[in-house]
């Protein structure tokens, strides 16, 4: 029996090792291919039950000086920062310094005209506050840096109309998380960065994670990736080359919706802290990773700083992507099966992709079947143009074109470019969006993660 057990165990270990090697090879092949297509420039970490099974860098931290990325390179996280803002609010609630049901005007009296919007509304994106980026574009003196305090001042001064009543519907809101950042500062009497450092980063030994506003408060950060975008001539540049009146420059003083910087392994520490209840308990996590619900009883796939999905194949998933000033970031926690995907890129260009779905397939030993990317002529796009709507979703989607690229814009949101694929299919990879047209019915199927909605041309 002893020999049989030993042989069986050895067989299991050998096969497990071969399976892991196969995953590693497939992952490396995937990212190497994407890098060769100028679709991925960044760092990757994949873990199972907290154990790193794949970690590698692809490309350059600085293009001009040909400085390569390494596993300790720091990246701006963009909207992946929102989960840290949400955790800051959770920790203040646990201390008894605030309640989720408090109106935001309790801490920001300047916003008294916004009625019954609560902290929980902001956490869940159900508050209805209008987009501060658009307001500052129209009203702000762009020779000055804007801060979170300026958002409160501008909203008090101009009183922009809410997009909807609190909890009436879900609409992703950078404004909401910037206001949460301001609430953290006013309640804790510390700067946003100092609060996160003292109560999250230090306790978790996230030594390479910090709030950094490179234009507002410039300092030399070692081993920090430079973010790149594409200009109108097709050149890879930083957004600073667009001038000081470009929004990523003068809005650099605003935190809460972004501005946390980190590394692969620090983010794995963060993932492990959530898994092992180091900062919060199960009751807290049931709120953080719970779908919000609007007044009509509809579930929205957003908790506290995390997008949520339930999959028959992969179980419960919490994830978030980010994009800002040349950075494209992604973190996914497969809660049911304890797998972690972290992708940090310092490119945000039309060819950039976040291949989360492909990584997931590799982790579960599934085949990757993808349609081929194609190029269309400008006139080929005409049949897709127009306004599309559905009774199942409150927003309309408008499709326009610029030269030979199709653009989509949801009501109240910024437009985004769509890459063309075979069989009337278009994708916006950074947000995992696929649009598949059905020409005979003048409609399309909009897919994002596990949600599918049919839109019809008006």
Residues 434, 312, single domain; the answer is no
**DSSP codes, 281-337:** -HHHHHHHTS-EE-TTS-EESB-SS-EEEEETTTEEEEEEEEEETTEEEEEEEETTT
- With a CB cutoff of 8 Å and minimum separation 6, the contacts of 178 are 132, 148, 151, 254, 255, 256, 257
- Closest Cα partner for 133 from 16, 251, 230? 251
Q: Is residue 162 part of a domain?
A: yes
- Who contacts 322 (Cβ-Cβ below 8 Å, separation ≥6)? 77, 78, 79, 80, 81, 258, 328, 329, 330
> What is the spatial distance between Cα 74 and Cα 79, in angstroms, rounded to a whole number?
15
For residue 124, the enclosing domain spans 78-363
Residue 423: how many other CB atoms lie within 10 Å:
9
Tell me, what CATH number does 114's domain have? 3.40.710.10
What tokens appear for 70 in the block?
Answer: 């390494």
pLDDT band at residue 372, thresholds of 50, 70 and 90? confident
| pLDDT digits 0-9 by tens, 284-298 | 999 999 999 999 988
- Mean pLDDT, rounded, for 125-146: 96
Which structure tokens are listed for 34? 């994407």
Q: Does the pLDDT of residue 151 top 70, yes or no? A: yes
Total domains present in the chain: 2
State whether 118 and 87 are in the same domain: yes
Domain presence at residue 171 = yes
pLDDT in tens, 289-334: 999 999 998 888 999 999 999 988 899 999 999 999 999 999 999 9
Residue 335 or residue 353, greater confidence: 335
Residue where a domain terminates, one of 363, 394, 427: 363
Tell me the two tokens of residue 329: 């970031």
Could you tell me if residue 287 is inside a domain?
A: yes
Mean pLDDT of 10-29: 64
Distance in angstroms (rounded) separating the CA atoms of residues 58 and 381: 34
In terms of domains, do 285 and 389 share one? no
Domain boundary, last residue among 363, 394, 428:
363
Please indicate, yes or no, if residue 234 is contained in any of the structural domains. yes
Same domain, residue pair 356 and 426: no
pLDDT, residue 449, reads 61
Q: Which pLDDT belongs to residue 131?
A: 95
Q: Over the Cα atoms of the chain, what is R_g?
A: 22
Phi/psi at 334 (nearest 5 deg)? -85, 95
Residues 174 and 322 in one domain: yes
Q: Specify if 7 maps to a domain.
A: no
Given the residues 57, 79, 262, 328, the one annotated as active site = 79
pLDDT average, residue stretch 31-39: 93
CATH number at residue 438: 2.40.128
How far is the C-alpha of 92 from the C-alpha of 87, rounded, in Å?
9
Residue 65's pLDDT band (boundaries 50, 70, 90)? very high
Whether the CB-CB separation of 341 and 332 falls below 8 Å is answered with yes
Residue 2: inside a domain: no
What integer is the mean pLDDT of 201-230? 96
Could you tell me if 267 and 395 lie in one domain? no
Kindly list the distances between the CA atom of residue 128 and the CA atoms of 110, 111, 162, 196, 396, in Å, as whole numbers in the listed order: 16, 13, 5, 26, 17
What count of residues does the chain have? 458
**Statement to judge: residues 288 and 160 lie in one domain:** yes
Q: Are 320 and 302 in contact (CB under 8 A)?
A: no
* pLDDT of residue 133 exceeding 90: yes
Judged by average pLDDT, the poorest of 129-138, 195-204, 415-424 is 415-424
- On whether both 352 and 389 belong to a single domain, the answer is no
DSSP state of 195: H
Is 19 inside any structural domain? no
Question: In this structure, are 255 and 398 located in the same domain?
Answer: no
- Measured CA to CA, the distance from residue 206 to residue 57 in angstroms comes to 20
H or E segment to which residue 416 belongs: strand 416-421
How confident is the model over 373-414, as pLDDT tens digits? 888 899 999 999 999 998 877 778 999 998 889 999 888 777
**Mind listing the pLDDT tens digit for each residue in 239-257?**
999 999 999 999 999 999 9
Indicate whether 359 and 387 sit together in one domain.
no
Residue 152 has pLDDT above 70, yes or no: yes
3-state per-residue secondary structure call for 65-95: CCEECCCCCEEECHHHHHHHHHHHHHHHHHH
Residue at a domain's end among 363, 387, 419 = 363
pLDDT at 428: 84
283 and 320 fall within a common domain? yes
pTM: 0.82
The yes-or-no verdict on residue 9 having pLDDT over 60 is no
For residue 79, indicate whether it is catalytic.
yes
Residue 20 lies in a domain: no
289 and 196 belong to one structural domain: yes
Q: What is the pLDDT of residue 20?
A: 58
Contact 368, 362 (CB under 8 A): yes
Rounded CA-CA distance 447/307 in Å is 15
Residues 277, 365: contact at Cβ < 8 Å? Answer: no
């Amino acid at each position: 029996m002893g020999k049989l057990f030993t042989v069986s165990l050895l067989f299991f270990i050998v096969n497990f090792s071969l399976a892991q090697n196969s995953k590693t090879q497939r992952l490396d092949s995937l990212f190497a291919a994407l890098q060769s297509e100028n679709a991925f420039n960044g760092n990757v970490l994949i873990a199972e039950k907290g154990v790193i099974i794949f970690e590698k860098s692809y490309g350059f931290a600085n293009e001009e000086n040909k400085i390569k990325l390494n596993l300790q390179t720091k990246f701006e996280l963009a909207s992946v920062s929102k989960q840290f803002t949400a955790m800051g609010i959770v920790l203040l609630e646990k201390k008894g310094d605030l309640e989720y049901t408090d109106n935001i005007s309790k801490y920001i009296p300047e916003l008294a005209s916004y009625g019954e919007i609560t902290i929980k509304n902001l956490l869940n994106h159900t508050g209805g506050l209008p987009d501060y980026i658009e307001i500052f574009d129209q009203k702000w003196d762009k020779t000055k840096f804007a801060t979170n305090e300026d958002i409160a001042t501008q909203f008090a001064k101009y009183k922009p109309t809410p997009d909807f009543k609190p909890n009436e519907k879900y609409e992703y809101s950078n404004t909401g998380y910037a206001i949460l950042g301001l609430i953290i500062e006013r309640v804790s009497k510390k700067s946003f960065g100092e609060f996160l450092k003292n109560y999250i980063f230090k306790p978790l030994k996230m030594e390479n994670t910090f709030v950094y506003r490179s234009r507002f408060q410039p300092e030399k950060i070692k081993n920090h990736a430079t973010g790149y975008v594409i200009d109108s001539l097709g050149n890879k540049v930083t957004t600073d080359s667009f001038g000081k009146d470009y929004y990523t420059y003068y809005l650099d003083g605003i935190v809460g919706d972004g501005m946390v910087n980190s590394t692969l392994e620090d983010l794995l520490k963060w993932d492990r802290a959530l898994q092992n209840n180091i900062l919060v308990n199960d009751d807290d996590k049931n709120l953080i990773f719970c779908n919000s619900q609007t007044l009509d009883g509809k579930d929205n796939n957003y908790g506290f700083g995390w997008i949520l999905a339930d999959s028959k194949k992969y179980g419960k998933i919490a994830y978030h992507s980010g994009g800002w000033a040349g950075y494209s970031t992604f973190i996914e926690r497969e809660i049911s099966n304890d797998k972690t995907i972290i992708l940090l890129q310092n490119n945000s260009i039309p060819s950039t992709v976040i291949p989360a779905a492909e990584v997931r397939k590799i982790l579960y030993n599934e085949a990757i079947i993808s349609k081929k990317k194609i190029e269309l002529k400008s006139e080929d796009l005409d049949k897709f143009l127009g306004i599309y709507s559905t009774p199942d979703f409150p927003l309309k989607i408008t499709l326009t074109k610029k030269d030979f690229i199709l653009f989509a814009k949801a009501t109240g949101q910024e437009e985004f470019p769509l890459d063309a694929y075979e069989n009337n299919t278009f994708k916006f990879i950074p947000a995992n969006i696929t649009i598949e047209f059905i020409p005979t019915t003048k409609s399309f199927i909009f897919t994002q993660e596990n949600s599918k909605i049919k839109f019809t041309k008006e």
